[in-house]
Structure formats: C-alpha cells, structure tokens
C-alpha cells in the first residue's frame, strides 16, 4: 500500500471511464480512435493521481489528462451538434472529476503549494464552467437562441470589437461615469450639510428612503422626457440611483465616531470643522467606501436598464434589448460579458483604493 | 424521442376515445399584450369556435420583453403570432419556424410627422431624427431607408435613428421629427393627445409598397411532419379565421371580449378592431408570395439574414382549410 494512495474523485472517474468504454464512438463525427484516446488519457489521470508521486508530477498528469480529454471531447462535437451519447457525458464527467482532484491538490490537500495556487484554483474553476457549458450545450443540441455556447460568444466578441467599444463608450464612459461621480459627490456634500444642520437630516432621510425605493422602470421614461433620449437621461437615472445610498451611508458614518474620541476633541477645544475633518470623516471612510461600492454596481445596472427605453442606436442596454429581438443571443452574451468585466474592474479598483485610504482601520488587522 | 412521444400520445388518445373525446391542446403565444390586434383568437376562444373544432387553446399574451421565437424554441408554445422579419431571422439561427397562415394581408406600420414640422416628403429626411421601434419591428424601416439610399448613421446626409419606446412621447416632446405608429394603435394615441388627421403627414409602408409581412402564425418545422399535427393546425387556423370573420363583423362585441381578457380601454379597442379589419381583408389566412419575397429580399439586403431562406412558409395548412 506504500505505492498506492486512492482518492474518491479518481475512483469515481475510473468508474465513469469504464462505463464510457461501452459507448464508443461518442458522437457522430468522432472516430473510434479519438474516443479511445480520450479514455486512455482519463485512465492515465485517474491512475496517476492514485500513485504516490510528488505533488508537481501529480499536478502535471492531472492537467494534461483532464484538460486534454476535455479538449478532445469538445473537438469531437464539430458538425455533430446534439449527437453526443451517454458515453460522451460519462467521459466528460470523468474529466471533470479529475479537474476537481486537481483543484483539491492545488488547494493543499495537506501540502502547501504557495500563492500560485490561489490564482490557479479560481482560473481552473472558470475554465471548467466554460468547458461544461460548451460541451453540454453543443452535445445535447440546446437551441442557439436559448443559450449560445461560449465559443460562439468568444467569436462574436472578437468580430464585433468595434461595436462593443462604441457601446462601452456610450454607456460606461458617458452615462455611468458622469452619473456616478455627480450622484456620489452630491450625496456626500448633502450628507455633510445634513450633519451640520439637523433639520436637513430629519427632513431628507425619510424622503431619501422613499426615493431610493422608486422603481427604475418608472424613473427612466420620465428622465427621457426631461433630458432627451441621449446619454444625459441615462446619467440622470444613475444620479438618482447613486445619490441616496451615498447620503444614507455618509450620515451613518459621520455618527460612527466614538463618544470617547469626541470628548477628546472637545478637550482640545477643536472647532466643529476640525473635529469633522480630523476625526469624524476618517471614521466614516468605511461607510463611504461601502456606498461607493454599492453605487458602482447600481450605476452600471441603472445605465443599462435605462437604455431599454428611448435611446440612440448605440449603448450596452440598447444592444442587449434589441439583439434579443434579432435572435443574436451571442451578441447579447458578449455585452453581458463586457458588463461583468467592467463591473468587476470598477469594484476591484474601489476595493484597492479603500485599502489604501483606510489601512489603519481595525478590520484590516491580521 | 419526439416520435415515441407522438406515438404514445396517439395511443393514449385512441384509448381515451371511448371516454369524452379529448380536446387537442394548443398553446398560442402572442407577439404583444391582449388587444384587438389579436381579436380573432380571443373571439374564437370566447365564442367556442376552438371547442367546436376539438381544441383546447391557451392564449398567452406577450409584451415588450417577450420574444415569441424564444418561447416556441423553449417549448412554451405550439404556435406563435410573429412578424415575418423576426421569424426569418430566428429561422437562420436554427429555430425551424414555418409560416402556416398569414391572417394579416397588409402591414399596419407607418411613419408620421407633424405637418408643421421640417418633413413634408421623403426628400426631407436628411439630417433629421426618426423614431423607430426595435425588437424585430425595425426591419421595414431599415429596408425603406436602404431603398432611399439614406445612411442611418446620423450626420448631415443621413438620418439619426431614435429607438422609440412603445408610445408617442417622442413626437409630443419634439425629440424626434417623425415617429413610427401602427394604424390600429399608436396613431389613435396621437389623436387622443389632441392631434388631428390633417396635422400629420403619414408615410404608410403598405401604400409605399415597402410593407413587410406582419402578424402571421408560425409553428416548428419538425411538427409538420406529423399528419395528426397538421390536422390539428388546420382546425386551429380555420377556427381562428372564423373568429376573425366574427370579430370584423361585430367589432363592439370583439372589443368587449378583449376587455374581458385583460385588454385596456374599450373605446380604443373598438377603434383598433376597425383598423385591424382593414388589414385582414378576406379572412382566408393565405400568404401572398410576393409579399413574402419582398420581406425576404429586404432582410437579405440589410444582412439581417445571410442566405435565401428555404421552406420558411407552407400552404399545406391553408390548402386543407376549404372555408
């Protein structure tokens, strides 16, 4: 038993591989030899991961076997949409289990492999989501108009880069950026004023809570009537959506400084403004960044949905809503991917900025 | 798989024939909300024409975010009401839609401009803003601009296209110089907003010979291989056309039925019924090949579809109807 170290993923993978032997060839255009090559790769991976090898060697074997088998399986779908049989999916499951085993090994499994694995694991996860999506959609022949495969979306992204850039420019660089900055800034300034003049806070907060509950679907057409159909009306929707989270969060943040610290400021005879800038604003920073992060997602959603109403014929929301009608679902998904990337980068940049500004905060102590 | 299900169903039906005759299920997905545009189907259901034909029909209203082509691809409907443009685009994307009947002989779409505005004739479009609906309704407009040789990218020599919401606000707000309306719907919203017929310059697509086929009935190709299914469709279309004939003869009653089914504003529905009747003409559901050719060519010219569609319509159902 010194040489042999079984694990459950590899055992299950072995079972699935043996089952797939009964159903060669896997698809209409896949010849027997490439089906057997898949099986050979899977066997290599399953057995290789159960031997006592060094971690690096095991990882190498698993990468080659699981991704190689998946690549061959997806290649076997060329001109054979919807013809995949049970053996095909058994093979796919076996490859996926080996991928799971690979992630387990990378995540440590009792051995520490350093920071590389913390990047590799999510990447592998993402790759497998795409592999399964591609293989299941094309293997079972799900209609293109219900869910296009990722390969078609990737092709669309590369062939329609100019359209995507024009949409990005219209929606993100004009409507989102302008609306986000104006909305967040005015929310912040009004919060400072409300903090200074009590009656403003008492009057504004209930109104703010009510306004933040306004449905965007109702606000957007009104903004189109007020500000015309170009990006200005979309920016106005974003301003409305981002103003109140900032206001409410900043007011809560300004109240978050402790009594003890405030008393200390008072004993130093600090003015109201001094204690605001030296104590209460820094203490409110986590709240303000929280609002900025909430607003980054709200702004993107707001601008895209606002473009479902009257718009010029450019913009991410316009493209999504019209290409659905033209059955170009690959274009719709390309825009969704673009929105996801933009949203993630936006959020990530804010998170980095927050670390730089509020490094002193207790929540960052290790 | 489908065949086995079909055979099982057939067996089940035969077995149940001893009991009360089982009505055949048909789910119809409309292109838009419940309104007189679809009066024939609602009337046929309400008056029991479907029941007489041995059918149990469920009518699903549509809306701005519902693409009938997707509903039928996902198995949510047997038959859909759709425009030929959208159907051909979907057909190229692998949804095997086939037109089995064409109740609407003429198109109801038109472009209207205020008479006191800058646009009096087609020569005045350059440099102006025109409102158009999208969601499959933009094809006739782009085909027409194509014919006029106008760029739709905006600028001095082209037209700026505004994606119009489904109302007449852009004209009232002066955001667009002309907007798209349906003869049976938005045109009357303008009348309600205080415009008079003489206040508007109307470019009617049908009169200009630029019309593309509108509301037709579509089903999936694979279903039509089954004679029993074809027979079901024949009964369905026949009963629907009977509904249309009744609705055009009794517009007030038809409007009341629409209101019962969730339509809005009885007066508006009555007017709509009157206008829709003009588009239907003789209720025989036959597709006019020339109109189909024109539609297909317009889509090809605009590169909405890349190759000449084949088998996108069939007369197998309408031939068997014998009104």
pLDDT at B29: 94
Helix orientation angle between B39-46 and B266-280, rounded to the nearest 10 degrees: 110
Residue with the bigger pLDDT between B302 and A57: it is: A57
Query: How far is Cα A175 from Cα A334, in angstroms, rounded to an integer?
Result: 20
> In 3-state terms, what secondary structure has residue A11?
helix
d(CA A228, CA B164): 12
pLDDT at position A365: 65
Q: Tell if the CB–CB gap between A312 and B162 is shorter than 8 Å.
A: yes
Which of B57, B70, B58, B89 lies closest to B31 in space, CA to CA?
B70
pLDDT at B14: 46
- Between B137 and B141, the more confident residue is B141
Angle at A348 between CA A283 and CA A353, to 5 degrees: 35
Three-state SS for B173?
Answer: coil
Of A144, A310, A329, the CB nearest to B165: A310
Q: Which pLDDT belongs to residue A112?
A: 56
Identify which of B54, B75, B64 has the alpha carbon closest to the alpha carbon of residue B219.
B75
Q: Do A143 and B73 touch (CB under 8 A)?
A: yes
Alpha-carbon gap, residue B208 to B223, rounded angstroms? 37
What is the chain B residue with the closest CA to A322? B135
Query: Given CB atoms, is A231 within the 8 Å cutoff of chain B?
Result: no
Comparing CB atoms, the residue among B73, B164, B175 nearest residue A145 is B73
Question: Residue B318: enclosing H or E segment and its boundaries?
Answer: helix B316-319
Residue B16: how many other CB atoms lie within 10 Å: 11
Positive or negative, the CA dihedral B247, B250, B253, B256 is: positive
* A86 vs B: CB within 8 A: no
CA distances from A13 to A25, A46, A60, A231, B11 (A): 19, 6, 17, 53, 42
Q: Do A322 and B163 touch (CB under 8 A)?
A: yes
Contacts with A145 from chain B: Cβ below 8 Å: 69-70, 73, 90, 93-95
Higher pLDDT, B305 or A353: A353
What residues in B contact A324, CB-CB < 8 Å?
67, 70, 135
Q: How far apart are CA B13 and CA B24, in angstroms?
A: 9
User: Do A307 and A126 meet the contact criterion of CB atoms below 8 Å apart?
Assistant: no
Distances (CA, A) of B249 to A268, B113, B243: 90, 32, 10
Q: Which of B67, B131, B162 sits opposite A324 (nearest CB)?
A: B67
Residue A336's nearest CA partner among A181, A173, A175, A167 is A167
Residue B84 near residue B51, CB atoms below 8 Å: no
Residues 130-189 of B with CB under 8 A from A: 131, 134-138, 152, 160-165, 169-170, 173, 175
Q: Closest approach of chain B CAs to the CA of A326, in angstroms?
A: 6
Using CB atoms within 10 Å of the CB of residue B249, give its burial: 0 to 12 exposed, 13 to 18 middle, 19+ buried: exposed
Average pLDDT, chain B: 84
For every one of its 366 residues, what pLDDT tens digit does chain A have, with 9 covering 90 and above? 567 778 888 889 888 888 888 877 888 777 778 888 888 899 888 888 888 888 788 888 988 999 999 998 888 888 777 788 888 899 899 999 999 988 888 877 555 556 667 778 888 889 999 999 999 998 888 878 788 999 999 999 999 899 999 999 999 999 999 999 999 999 999 999 988 888 888 888 888 778 778 888 888 888 888 888 888 999 999 999 899 899 989 988 988 888 898 899 999 998 888 888 888 898 899 999 999 999 999 999 989 988 888 788 888 988 988 888 777 888 999 999 999 999 999 999 999 999 888 887 777 765
pLDDT at residue B17, rounded to an integer: 43
Closest approach of B314 to chain A, Cα-based (Å): 22
How far is A49 from A43, CA to CA, in rounded Å?
A: 10
Residue of A170, A222, A325 for testing the chain B interface, max B β-carbons within 10 Å: A325
The alpha-carbon gap from A163 to the nearest alpha carbon of chain B, in Å, equals 13
Q: Which of A143, A313, A321 sits opposite B161 (nearest CB)?
A: A313
The CA-atom distances, in angstroms, between A146 and each of A26, A138, B88, B95 are 24, 12, 17, 10
Buried b (16+ CB within 10 A) or exposed e, A99-121: bbbbbbbbeeeeeebeeebeebe
Interface check A173 vs B, CB under 8 A: no
Tens of pLDDT, residue by residue over A159-191, are 989 999 999 999 999 999 999 999 999 999 999
Mean per-residue pLDDT, B235-252: 89
When scoring A141, A222, A229, A323 by the number of chain B Cβ atoms within 10 A, the one with the most, hence best to mutate, is: A229
CA gyration radius for chain A? 28
Whether the Cβ atoms of residue A88 and residue A57 lie closer than 8 Å to each other: no
- Interchain contact A228–B (C-beta under 8 A): yes
How many Å apart are CA B6 and CA A228, to the nearest integer?
A: 54
Q: For residue A225, give the nearest of B86, B162, B169 by CB distance.
A: B169
Interchain pair B163, A318: CB under 8 A: yes
Number of residues that this document lists for chain A: 366
CB within 8 Å: B164 and A310: yes
Match 């400072």 to its residue by tokens: A192
Within 8 A of A327 by CB-CB distance, chain B residues are 67, 69-70, 86, 89-90, 92-93, 95
Nearest CA in chain A to B170: A225
Burial class for A39, CB neighbours closer than 10 Å (0-12, 13-18, 19+): buried
Q: Is B94 close to A146, i.e. CB distance below 8 A?
A: no
Pairwise CA distance, residues A141 & A147, whole Å:
10
Taking an 8 Å cut-off on Cβ atoms, the answer to whether A326 and B89 are in contact is yes
- For residue B202, which phi and psi values (nearest 5 degrees)? -110, 130
SS3 category, A197: coil
Give the Cβ contact number of residue B275 at 10 Å.
17
Per-residue pLDDT, averaged over B143-172, amounts to: 82
pLDDT tens digit sequence for B13-28? 444 443 345 678 899 9
Q: How confident is the model at residue A2, as a pLDDT? A: 63
Mean pLDDT of the region B290-313 = 85
Kindly report the pTM of this predicted structure: 0.78
pLDDT surpasses 80 at B191: yes
Strands ordered across the beta sheet of B129-132: A311-312, B160-163, B129-132
Of the candidates A343, A212, A360, A345, the residue with the CA atom closest to the CA atom of residue A286: A360
Task: Please give the pLDDT value at position B143.
Answer: 84
B162 → closest Cβ in A225, A310, A322: A310
The whole-angstrom separation of Cα A190 and Cα A193 is 5
Helices (H), A213-328: 216-227, 231-254, 259-267, 272-275, 281-306, 316-325
d(CA B62, CA B215): 13
Contacts of A357 by beta carbon, 8 Å cutoff, 6+ apart: A285, A289
Q: In which residue are the tokens 């919203």 written? A: B189
Tokens of A273: 């403004």
Instruction: Locate the chain A residue with the closest alpha carbon to B164.
Output: A310
Residue contact A221–B304, C-beta within 8 A: no
Cross-strand partners of B29:
B60, B80
Q: Which residues contact B77 (CB under 8 A, 6 or more apart)?
A: B27, B28, B29, B60, B68, B71
Contact A237, A216 (CB under 8 A): yes
């Amino acid at each position: 038993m010194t040489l042999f170290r079984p694990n459950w993923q590899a055992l299950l993978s072995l079972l699935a591989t043996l089952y797939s032997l009964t159903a060669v060839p896997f698809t209409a255009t896949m010849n027997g030899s490439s089906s057997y090559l898949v099986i050979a790769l899977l066997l290599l991976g399953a057995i290789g991961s159960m031997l006592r090898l060094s971690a690096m060697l095991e990882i190498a074997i698993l990468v080659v076997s699981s991704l190689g088998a998946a690549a061959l399986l997806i290649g076997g779908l060329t001109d054979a949409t919807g013809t995949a049989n049970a053996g095909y999916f058994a093979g796919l499951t076996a490859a996926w289990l080996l991928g799971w085993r690979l992630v387990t090994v990378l995540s440590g499994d009792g051995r520490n492999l350093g920071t590389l694995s913390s990047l590799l694991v999510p990447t592998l996860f993402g790759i497998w989501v795409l592999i399964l999506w591609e293989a299941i959609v094309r293997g079972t022949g799900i209609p293109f108009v219900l869910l296009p495969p990722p390969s078609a979306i990737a092709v669309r992204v590369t062939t329609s880069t100019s359209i995507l850039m024009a949409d990005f420019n219209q929606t993100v660089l004009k409507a989102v950026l302008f609306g986000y900055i104006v909305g967040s800034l005015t929310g912040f300034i009004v919060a400072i004023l409300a903090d200074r003049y009590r009656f403003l806070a008492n009057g504004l907060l209930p109104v703010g809570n009510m306004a933040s509950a306004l449905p965007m679907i109702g606000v957007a057409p009104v903004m189109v009537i007020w500000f015309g159909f170009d990006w200005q009306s979309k920016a106005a929707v974003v301003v409305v959506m981002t103003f109140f989270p900032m206001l409410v969060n900043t007011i809560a943040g300004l109240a978050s400084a402790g009594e003890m610290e405030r008393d200390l400021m008072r004993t130093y005879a600090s003015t109201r403004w001094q204690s605001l800038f030296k104590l209460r604003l820094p203490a409110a920073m986590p709240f303000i960044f929280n609002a900025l992060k909430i607003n980054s997602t709200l702004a993107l959603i707001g601008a895209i949905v606002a473009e479902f109403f009257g718009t010029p014929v450019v913009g991410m929301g316009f493209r999504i809503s019209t290409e659905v009608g033209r059955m170009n679902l690959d274009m719709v998904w390309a825009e969704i991917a673009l929105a996801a990337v933009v949203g993630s980068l936006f959020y990530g940049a804010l998170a980095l900025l927050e670390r730089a500004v509020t490094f002193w905060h207790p929540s960052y102590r290790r | 798989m489908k065949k086995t299900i079909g055979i099982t169903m057939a067996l089940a039906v035969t077995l149940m024939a001893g009991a009360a005759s089982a009505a055949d299920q048909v789910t119809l997905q409309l292109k838009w909300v419940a309104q007189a545009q679809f009066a024939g189907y609602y009337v046929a259901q309400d008056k029991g024409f479907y029941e007489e034909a041995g059918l149990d029909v469920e009518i699903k209203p549509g809306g701005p975010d519902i693409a009938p082509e997707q509903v039928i691809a996902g198995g949510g409907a047997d038959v859909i009401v759709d425009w030929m443009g959208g159907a051909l685009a979907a057909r190229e994307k692998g949804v095997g839609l086939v037109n089995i009947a064409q109740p609407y002989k003429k198109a109801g779409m038109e472009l209207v401009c205020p008479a006191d505005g800058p646009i009096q004739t087609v020569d005045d479009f350059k440099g102006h803003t025109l409102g158009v609906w999208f969601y499959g309704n933009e094809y006739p407009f782009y085909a027409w601009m194509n014919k006029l040789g106008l760029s739709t990218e905006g600028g001095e020599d082209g037209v700026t296209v505004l994606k119009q919401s489904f109302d007449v606000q852009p004209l009232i707000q002066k955001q667009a110089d002309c907007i798209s309306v349906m003869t049976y719907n938005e045109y009357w919203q303008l009348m309600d907003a205080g415009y008079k017929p003489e206040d508007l310059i109307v470019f009617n697509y049908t009169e200009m010979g630029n019309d593309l086929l509108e509301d037709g009935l579509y089903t999936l190709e694979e279903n039509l291989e089954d004679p029993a299914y074809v027979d079901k469709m024949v009964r369905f279309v026949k009963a629907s056309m009977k509904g249309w004939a009744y609705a055009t003869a009794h517009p007030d009653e038809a409007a009341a039925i629409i209101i019962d089914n969730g339509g809005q504003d009885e007066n508006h529905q009555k007017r709509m019924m009157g206008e829709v009747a003009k588009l239907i003409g003789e209720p025989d559901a036959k597709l006019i090949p020339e109109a189909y050719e024109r539609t297909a060519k317009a889509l090809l010219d605009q590169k909405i579809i890349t190759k000449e569609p084949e088998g996108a319509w069939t007369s197998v159902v309408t031939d068997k109807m014998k009104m």
